[in-house]
Structure 1
Amino acid sequence: MNPPAVPAAPSALIIIDMQKGMQRMPAHTRNNPGAEAVIASLLQAWRQAGQPVVHVRHLSRTPGSPFWPGQDGVEWQPALAPLSHEHVVDKHVPDAFTHSQLARWLHQRGIHRLVVAGVSTNNSVEATARSGGNLGFDVRVVADGCYAYAQQDFDGVAHSAQTVHAMALANLHGEYATVQTSAEVLAALAGA
């Protein structure tokens, strides 16, 4: 007689800041225009697999921000809105772990692996992945499931959104997280 199969440990999909306010940013200053479709496919796969999903929402403390509470910029993009049973984390800083009880929520459910997607790669995604790695979680960042915006560095040199995105992923990979494609992440989910 075979022993009962041990269920695979859950992996939480962490979707960061996919709010309507992000759609107001100039499209020509960002990379990866297909990121939202990738995130939607991840969300669908996680739901079908019955795996936990965490939606992170930024609530700004800066008056006039599109993410100031009470404005429609705070609302979820419809295709990525949480279901009633999915966990929502509100944050006021880039890192979803700061002052949110996210780590406790994950530990209480025995969740050790996190798959992170959203915006922006070099801000909230990077901050959350760094903290997750530092807290001992097995963090996977979905390279094609996040995006960044063009910006200047401290010396005033302009960098494309793709360069900013790639540098943020390089900062994370092997140190705080493992950077993977959505195909790799979905294959791992299917094999779980």
Structure 2
Amino acid sequence: MPHPLPALIVVDVQRAFDEWEAAGQRRNNPDAVARIVDLLAAFRASGAPIFHIRHEGTKPSSTFRPERTGYAVKDEAREQGGEPVIVKRVNSAFIGTDLETRLRASNIATLVICGATTNHCVETTTRMAGNLGFDAQLVRDATWTFDRVGPDGEAHSAEDIHTITLSNLNGEFARIVTAGEVIASLAALRQ
């Protein structure tokens, strides 16, 4: 029998992204971490499962290497007692980890995914969640990304990348939702 509540998957809410911003990289969705805090509070109040994902960089230059300050989780999104932390070394939280095993063991069918960045680890984790048969919900206002330059040298805004990523995932891999919708749905499940 499926678990009655969804699980919250919090992807890579780490200080490295603050360091990128401090170095001049521009991001979208400045309120994303506040929405993640809202989701964490709602899931904790509901007793719903929460899984924290951390990225561990392997390249010498990575700001996500465990010995660097960027590896640490942002204080606002820090795990609390009993909430597992799963460390990954690639984009997907399902590769090289026991995340799928843990979810299946608890009969969790629905995943609410948030974190950073929209078009990298969040997208890859969401695609795999959908491919693995989970009911994946990606929280559009609880994720963010950065401006990027494409292979042709053309600049792409974080807003455009975010929107296109959500469009690519919508329907086939996940439902695109807001934090408010998820919180209202959790409240309805508790009644």
Give the TM-score taking structure 1 as reference length.
0.93
Tell whether 2:143 aligns with 1:146. yes
Tell whether 2:5 aligns with 1:10. yes
Match of 2:68 in 1: 71
Match of 2:87 in 1: 90
Q: Secondary structure at the match of 2:123?
A: helix
Percent identity of paired positions between Structure 1 and Structure 2: 39
Q: Hey, what's the Cα distance between the residues in 2 that align with 1:174 and 1:152?
A: 27
Match of 1:190 in 2: 187
Q: Give unmatched runs, 5+ long, in structure 1.
A: 1-5
Deviation at 1:84, TM superposition (A): 2.3
Q: Hey, what's the Cα distance between the residues in 2 that align with 1:154 and 1:74?
A: 28
Q: Give unmatched runs, 5+ long, in structure 2.
A: none
> Is the 2:3–2:107 Cα contact (8 Å) retained in structure 1?
no
> Is the 1:142–1:180 Cα contact (8 Å) retained in structure 2?
yes
Q: Hey, what's the Cα distance between the residues in 2 that align with 1:153 and 1:184?
A: 33
Deviation at 1:7, TM superposition (A): 9.6
Q: Hey, what's the Cα distance between the residues in 1 that align with 2:95 and 2:25?
A: 31
Q: How many residues align?
A: 187
Structure (1 or 2) with the larger CA radius of gyration: 1
Deviation at 1:124, TM superposition (A): 0.4
Tell whether 2:54 aligns with 1:57. yes
> Is the 2:112–2:139 Cα contact (8 Å) retained in structure 1?
yes
Q: Secondary structure at the match of 1:57?
A: strand
Equivalent position amino acid for 2:11 in 1: I
Q: Secondary structure at the match of 1:142?
A: strand
Q: Hey, what's the Cα distance between the residues in 1 that align with 2:69 and 2:152?
A: 35
Q: Hey, what's the Cα distance between the residues in 1 that align with 2:26 and 2:69?
A: 22
* Aligned counterpart for 1:29 among listed residues 20, 26, 30: 26
Deviation at 1:22, TM superposition (A): 1.4
Deviations 1:139-163 (A, max 9, x none): 0000000001111223322111000
> Is the 2:3–2:109 Cα contact (8 Å) retained in structure 1?
no
* Aligned counterpart for 1:180 among listed residues 170, 177, 180: 177
**RMSD in angstroms over aligned alpha carbons?**
1.5
Give 4+ residue runs of structure 1 displaced > 4 Å after superposition: none
> Is the 2:2–2:108 Cα contact (8 Å) retained in structure 1?
no
